[in-house]
């Protein structure tokens, strides 16, 4: 049944995609083509060109699924807002699209929308953020090569880079969001924080939150936080085994929910094209905004800046396609902003933040973290510099500093340090126990899991985490298909409850994918 639903889901997606693309093309042709301002910045790959693959570098960790990141499976491009100045929250966050064209195998193309020029300072800021996300430093390239030497399967699969955020602060907050809740709620909280950032940006431009919300298409159901709130409590998942009939019903209901979301997404994108036609044809838009120049600039930033080219094929985009298709499609998540900066969060009320973003107890921790950064008690730049040479001594020093931060327990610290480039420690939690049980037949517990991971992955030192994550990611793809091709509306279905082996006969495991081969690496 699960496979049938997946096939039916894919057929529905392809049908909706074809219909949507046809309407978008027609709307764009009728509007006389795209007229949005943009500039392309080139990022040379250098020695990394030999090992780099954009799709594999991005779609390698759940962080790529969290807002404001948007991976487009059709064009194989990464899209999101990035700050022009990481030290100044008041500076705009234009929408960018990162592509690896066929014509330019030794460099990435970063298209920045909403501007026709960039200062050297702003250009450098963007490049620093992209390099960090994709781990394009010399030390990371050395790590990839060394790990692939000791793990042949990693080289075969092109694995070695684990996606992370453009800033350490975003990584730290998202690692807080990953703990003690279901994946669907993690996605919901990240989305809500980005929606909040847009509201805060609206206020800085003198517009009310309600006016800004009205100026953007209100039918975007995907952007609504409630769509991502899990239907079950956020605590531990129930251990009660579901019968076949109940499981089937749940899967069907999930399928219907995601189908509705996809249809809404298609409508939103078409409406966005119609709105862009209006802007191109008349230069005006009937909104509730006052006519001040500042607020017109804000509207332009919130909409035309967040456009992206559409490539009408499944392969990675080419440079010529980007240039000719510019402005055809608007970013579907046009109701969210960038991930909020420390300064944007530091002055917020804790109760407001908790309620607005459904953060619960995490609101206090995130707020204190932001305030500590703004007040200088936590020096993010110094932390980043300390991990330029990942070694055990630096790891221990950084781990001690992170443990002093409210809410940074062993799991959060280990996840943050992994994002910073330390791969010799595997964050161990219930997910690790599940993996060792299903893949390695180890009856692990909280007390024994650390000993088991050391026995299994110790031979890959100092890259134990990379070896572990290679297995985990491949296991996910055995259950759910290639994650880089999964529609965003299905991300929330990647849960432990959907990966539980069903029993038939006497404790015989059967995977939904029908595969019996285990995913452990040799």
Identify whether 384 is part of a domain. yes
Q: How high is the pLDDT of residue 11? A: 64
pLDDT value for 395: 94
Q: Which two tokens stand for residue 279?
A: 């802007």
Residue holding tokens 């993690």?
186
Which pLDDT value is given to residue 292? 41
| Predicted local confidence at residue 211, as pLDDT | 45
Chain-centre distance for alpha carbon 267: 23
Two tokens, residue 144: 């990839």
Residues of the chain predicted below pLDDT 70: 1-36, 87-90, 204-335, 501-519, 522
Whether 464 is covered by a domain: the verdict is yes
Does 481 map to a domain? yes
Question: How many domains in the chain?
Answer: 1
Q: Omega before 149 cis (within 30°)?
A: no
The answer to whether 308 and 333 are in contact (CB under 8 A) is no
Q: Which pLDDT score is estimated for 227?
A: 39
Question: By the 8 A CB rule, do 71 and 484 touch?
Answer: yes
- How far from the centroid of its chain's Cα atoms is residue 404's Cα? 27
Looking at residue 336, its pLDDT comes to 79
The rounded distance, in Å, linking the Cα atoms of 133 and 498 is 29
Identify whether 39 is part of a domain. yes
**Is residue 521 domain-resident?**
no
- Residue spans of beta strands (DSSP E) within 238-397: 307-308, 329-330
Q: Residue 89: what pLDDT?
A: 63
Residue 520 lies in a domain: no
Q: Which residues pair with 41 in a beta bridge?
A: 110
SS3 for 46-63 is HHHHHCCCHHHHHCCCHH
> Contact, 139 vs 388, CB < 8 A?
yes
Any idea which residue has 């790529």 for tokens?
64
Question: How far, in whole angstroms, is CA 160 from its chain's centroid?
Answer: 18
pLDDT at 363: 98
Q: Is 144:51 a contact under the CB 8 Å cutoff?
A: yes
Three-state secondary-structure class, residue 373: helix
In a domain, 517, yes or no: no
Q: Which residues of 144-154 are buried (b: 16+ CB within 10 A; e: fewer)?
A: beebbeebeeb
Return the pLDDT at 391.
84
Domain that holds residue 167: 2-510
Does any domain span residue 516? no
Mapped onto helix, strand or coil, the DSSP state of residue 238 is coil
SS3 96: strand
Place of tokens 């607005």: 356
């Amino acid at each position: 049944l699960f496979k049938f639903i997946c096939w039916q889901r894919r057929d529905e997606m392809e049908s909706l995609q074809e219909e949507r693309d046809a309407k978008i093309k027609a709307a764009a042709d009728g509007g006389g083509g795209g007229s949005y301002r943009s500039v392309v910045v080139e990022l040379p790959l250098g020695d990394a060109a030999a090992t780099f693959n954009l799709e594999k570098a991005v779609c390698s960790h759940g962080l790529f699924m969290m807002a404001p990141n948007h991976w487009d499976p059709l064009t194989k491009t990464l899209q999101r807002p990035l700050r022009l100045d990481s030290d100044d929250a008041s500076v705009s966050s234009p929408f960018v699209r990162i592509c690896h064209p066929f014509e330019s195998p030794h460099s990435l193309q970063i298209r920045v929308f909403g501007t026709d020029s960039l200062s050297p300072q702003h250009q450098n800021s963007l490049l620093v953020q992209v390099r960090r996300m994709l781990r394009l430093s010399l030390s990371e390239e050395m790590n990839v090569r060394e790990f692939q030497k000791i793990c042949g399967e990693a080289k075969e699969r092109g694995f070695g880079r684990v996606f992370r955020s453009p800033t350490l602060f975003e990584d730290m907050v998202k690692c807080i969001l990953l703990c003690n809740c279901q994946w669907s709620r993690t996605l919901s909280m990240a989305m809500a924080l980005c929606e909040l950032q847009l509201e805060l940006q609206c206020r800085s431009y003198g517009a009310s939150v309600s006016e800004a919300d009205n100026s953007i298409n209100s039918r975007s159901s995907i952007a609504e936080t409630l769509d991502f709130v899990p239907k079950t409590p956020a605590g531990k998942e129930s251990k009660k085994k579901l019968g076949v009939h109940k499981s089937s019903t749940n899967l069907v209901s999930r399928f219907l929910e995601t189908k509705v979301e996809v249809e809404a997404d298609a409508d939103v994108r078409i409406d966005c094209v119609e709105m862009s036609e209006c802007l191109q044809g008349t230069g005006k838009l009937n909104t509730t905004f006052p006519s001040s120049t500042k607020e017109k600039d804000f509207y332009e930033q919130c909409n035309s800046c967040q456009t992206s080219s559409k490539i009408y094929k499944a392969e990675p985009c080419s440079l010529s396609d980007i240039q000719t298709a510019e402005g055809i499609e608007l970013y579907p998540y046009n109701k969210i902003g960038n991930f909020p900066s420390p300064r944007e969060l530091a002055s917020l009320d804790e109760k407001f933040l908790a309620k607005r973003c459904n953060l619960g107890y995490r609101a206090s921790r995130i707020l204190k973290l932001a305030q500590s950064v703004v007040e200088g008690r936590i020096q993010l730049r110094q932390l980043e510099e300390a991990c330029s040479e990942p070694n055990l001594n630096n790891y221990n020093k950084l781990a001690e500093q992170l443990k002093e931060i409210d809410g940074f327990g062993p799991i959060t610290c280990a996840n943050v340090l992994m994002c910073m480039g330390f791969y010799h420690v595997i964050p161990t939690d219930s997910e690790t126990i599940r993996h060792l049980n299903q893949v390695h037949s180890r009856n692990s517990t909280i007390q024994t899991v650390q000993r088991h991971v050391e026995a299994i992955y110790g031979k890959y030192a100092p890259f134990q985490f990379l070896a572990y994550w290679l297995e985990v990611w491949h296991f996910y793809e055995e259950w759910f298909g290639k994650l880089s091709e999964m529609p965003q509306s299905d991300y929330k279905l990647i849960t432990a409850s959907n990966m539980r082996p069903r029993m038939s006969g006497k404790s015989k495991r059967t995977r939904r994918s029908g595969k019996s081969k285990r995913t452990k690496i040799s």
